[in-house]
Chains A and B, each alone.
Chain A
Amino acid sequence: MLKALIKVQLQSMFSRGLLRNRRSSKKPRNPLLSRLMIVLLALYILASLGISLGVTFHNMLTSFQPLNLLWMYFAVAGIAAFLFSVIGSIYLAQASLFSAQDNDLLLSMPIPPAKILVARSVALYLIALSVQAVVLLPALTVYLVFAGFSLPVLIMALIAGLLLPLPTLALSILLGWLLALVSARLRRKNLVVVLLSIAALAAYFVGYSRLIAAMEELMLRGHQIAQAVKGAIPPAYHYGLALAEGKLPSLLLFALFCILPFALVMALVAANYRQVITTRRGAPKIAYKGGGLKASSLMQALLTKEVRRFFSSPMYMLNSGFSLLFMLGLPIYLAVDKNVLSMFQQELGVLTPYLGPAAVGVLSMMAGSVFISAVSISMEGKALWILQSLPVKPIQALLAKAAAHFAISLPFVLAAGIILGVAFRLEAFIFVMCLLLPLLFTVFSAFLGLLLNLRFPKLNWRNETEPVKQSMSPFLAMTLGFLIPITLTGLGAYLTSKGLDLKLYILLCTAAIALASTGMYLLLKAKADKAFLDLSEV
């Protein structure tokens, strides 16, 4: 029974949204080519991440090796992997464990609730494992290449690597459970979930930034900090010791540190799992008193509906609009903390004139990686028939989704550009570009997201995690929206060093993004009718 449940969970994770529909009357034009492109892109992303992490780990290794603190190397890698995986797991646990649409169906079957919990946790475990692998594999590779190949290290790393997702799961399931418990009893449930999540994120990033500062300290005062880690975070110490020195007792202790909290959390949640997922106390009933209806135009109605959809779902909001929080948070932080700004200018020295263009690049990257539209079609789910059966042109429905993406991003993009422009005292041209280019990237990512979501829709979802986090289109939209500005910034740095005028380059980029956005709009317009109806066959 448990095996069958786990199989269903895994099927839902990997089958939909990644592959084209099976029922469709048309065959994909070139499935091999599109799959090859996806694989190549995924490899490119993994390679980029792997190389940048590899460089960091290499620096760390060369610092720790002379101090004979190799255990600390693995301990830091383990802590980084843990933190990296925790961030997304909280929402994932809340949505897939406590808000899944098929909870009632499964509860009606002769399946103990604890088994449903375990089956859903297996899917979470695999996600945490793969996220942690992104950090741990470069760390291990750097170690094996530069400190010398060692079979015991490899074996220990594999065993410990399989255990490390358990504390992530324990923490995320516990927080997800608390979130579900609290939100079931509140009226403004979504608002509370969003505020709690933002508070958790803020705490996380404060902690993370302190960790980075601690890492810098670590390089200077290795032994002292190692002693502190040893005393304060025993699981990290034993994890490091097991890997670096192959100590079996340390591995067993680490296993205990992983398994015990996980088992306790599972026991706690399993005890009232049925109660939590079936609690529907919510708000007291509001009686409709009649009247008060306001007539709007078609496009206004469609746009309002899209914006309401976005703000109705904490999962959708916090994931697809994640960069918007950064976009506003970062400039405010820089504007408020004058020390950081002056430190920036001192450190940059002769490169200070490039601060403005770099700000344009960073804001563009943040605007580009917002993926509201890339999920908007999938979020229609089984209610897609409404838009399809109403007298609405497919292009109107799609443009409303793009407009919602733009309207939601607009205040953040403008505020961020203005705050940065004033704080950095940018010259007029760069100031204008700080507003214009990120706005253009917002349009670009809105259209790109729609095209990707039409190509990779995920409509038969059981919880919102599936279209938002386990789907190809948001992944591609976010990655491309992130990589294109980075690539353009990098190319700009190279070309201007070769004598190209910086302002001319920025104008060329602006024209290129405007042209690409227009191209995508025209493509969308040409394909909308057919593609929108084809969604019925997904």
Chain B
Amino acid sequence: MLRIEHLNKSFGNKKAVEDLSIHIRPGEIYGFIGHNGAGKTTCIKACCGILRFDSGEIHIDGINIKSDPIACKQRTAYLPDNPDLYEFLSGIKYLNFIADVFGISKEDREARVKTLAAEFELTSDLAQPIATYSHGMKQKLAVIAALMHEPRLLVMDEPFTGLDPKASFLLKQKMRAICDAGGAVFFSTHVLEVAEKLCDKVAIIRRGKLVVEGTMEAVKGNESLEEVFLELEDHHA
């Protein structure tokens, strides 16, 4: 579903991502772990076609993101770490805009808005301007917008920040549902307990380089993910 091969990205003289290769298969929830500034967001943005990269290849559903970014983006949904949305629109107008961009029919968009907004308990606030939303409400709206077009690949940067426990639980269910339907989820997190419980596979990145990657069982063995992460940090310090 998502194949990253020998990805390199620098900002000036600083290498943000160095020779990174990851392969995420359909049905997998893939966790991306690393300290602050390790290169997670850079890698995620490159996968979503937001950031150009220096070398390497990224394929989504077999399509090269450089040669056909629009087809890749049609299959993908991206959720950033900070939900900066169009504050001048109301929640419903924002969702309608997203539906227009993805060419979702009137009937489908109305049904999906109804279901998702009810699940995330945002229905009564949809007519309000986004500028009046709290951080958590914006995050919920961004999640709903990401799920509107039923993406094959869901890419998220720290998705649980700001979500209340119920919304977090619901999002985890949605992530699993995407995988069950043959899609995949790639997300970064600092909450190692969540990653440990939720992910099928995990990659740990340090200073732009992949340190370890594999199934959750293979990476952590008998230890907790937190212990493995801290050991690796000490080892590579």
Are A293 and B106 closer than 8 Å at their CB atoms?
Answer: yes
A3 is an interface residue with CB less than 8 A from chain B: no
Are B88 and A309 closer than 8 Å at their CB atoms?
Answer: yes
Of all chain A residues, the one with the shortest Cβ separation from B123 is: A288
A388 is an interface residue with CB less than 8 A from chain B: yes
Closest approach, in angstroms, between the C-beta of B169 and any C-beta of chain A? 24
Of all chain B residues, the one with the shortest Cβ separation from A389 is: B78
Interface residues on A, range: 35 or more
Cα distance A296–B9 when bound, in Å? 37
Chain A proximity mask over B109-148: 1 for CB below 8 Å, otherwise 0: 1100110010000011111100010000000000000000
Are B73 and A390 closer than 8 Å at their CB atoms?
Answer: yes
B48 is an interface residue with CB less than 8 A from chain A: yes
Are A389 and B89 closer than 8 Å at their CB atoms?
Answer: no
Of all chain B residues, the one with the shortest Cβ separation from A295 is: B106
Are A296 and B100 closer than 8 Å at their CB atoms?
Answer: yes
Closest approach, in angstroms, between the C-beta of B126 and any C-beta of chain A? 4
A312 is an interface residue with CB less than 8 A from chain B: yes
Are A300 and B73 closer than 8 Å at their CB atoms?
Answer: no
Are B54 and A25 closer than 8 Å at their CB atoms?
Answer: yes
Of all chain B residues, the one with the shortest Cβ separation from A299 is: B100
Are A309 and B92 closer than 8 Å at their CB atoms?
Answer: no
B177 is an interface residue with CB less than 8 A from chain A: no
Chain A proximity mask over B80-116: 1 for CB below 8 Å, otherwise 0: 1010111111011100111111111110011001100
Closest approach, in angstroms, between the C-beta of A11 and any C-beta of chain B? 20
Of all chain A residues, the one with the shortest Cβ separation from B146 is: A389
A110 is an interface residue with CB less than 8 A from chain B: no
B45 is an interface residue with CB less than 8 A from chain A: yes
CB contacts (< 8 Å) of B191 on chain A: these are none
Chain A proximity mask over B40-61: 1 for CB below 8 Å, otherwise 0: 0000010011111010000000
Known contacts A295-B105, A301-B100: A530-B49 contact under CB 8 Å = no
CB contacts (< 8 Å) of A393 on chain B: these are 70
Cα distance A537–B52 when bound, in Å? 9
Are A24 and B73 closer than 8 Å at their CB atoms?
Answer: no
Find residues 458-509 in chain A having any chain B CB closer than 8 Å to their own CB. Answer: none
A305 is an interface residue with CB less than 8 A from chain B: yes
State the B residues within 8 Å of A (CB): 9-12, 45, 48-52, 54, 70-71, 73-74, 76, 78, 80, 82, 84-89, 91-93, 96-106, 109-110, 113-114, 117, 123-128, 132
* Given A288-B124, A290-B110, 5 more pairs with CB closer than 8 A: A288-B91, A297-B100, A390-B101, A391-B71, A391-B73
Are A390 and B50 closer than 8 Å at their CB atoms?
Answer: no
CB contacts (< 8 Å) of B123 on chain A: these are 288, 290
Are B100 and A298 closer than 8 Å at their CB atoms?
Answer: yes
Are B124 and A388 closer than 8 Å at their CB atoms?
Answer: no
A-B contact list, 21 entries, CB within 8 Å: A23-B12, A24-B12, A285-B124, A286-B127, A287-B124, A287-B127, A288-B123, A293-B113, A295-B106, A298-B101, A304-B97, A308-B93, A313-B88, A383-B86, A383-B87, A385-B78, A385-B84, A391-B71, A391-B101, A391-B102, A537-B51
CB contacts (< 8 Å) of A294 on chain B: these are 96, 106
Cα distance A309–B87 when bound, in Å? 9
Known contacts A382-B82, A382-B84: A285-B100 contact under CB 8 Å = no
CB contacts (< 8 Å) of B101 on chain A: these are 298, 301-302, 390-392
Select A533's contact among B51, B100, B103, beta carbons within 8 Å.
B51
Known contacts A23-B12, A388-B49: A286-B70 contact under CB 8 Å = no
CB contacts (< 8 Å) of B76 on chain A: these are 389
Are A293 and B128 closer than 8 Å at their CB atoms?
Answer: no
Of all chain A residues, the one with the shortest Cβ separation from B157 is: A385
CB contacts (< 8 Å) of B78 on chain A: these are 385, 389
CB contacts (< 8 Å) of B51 on chain A: these are 533, 536-537
Select A290's contact among B70, B93, B114, beta carbons within 8 Å.
B114
A381 is an interface residue with CB less than 8 A from chain B: yes
A145 is an interface residue with CB less than 8 A from chain B: no
Closest approach, in angstroms, between the C-beta of B103 and any C-beta of chain A? 7
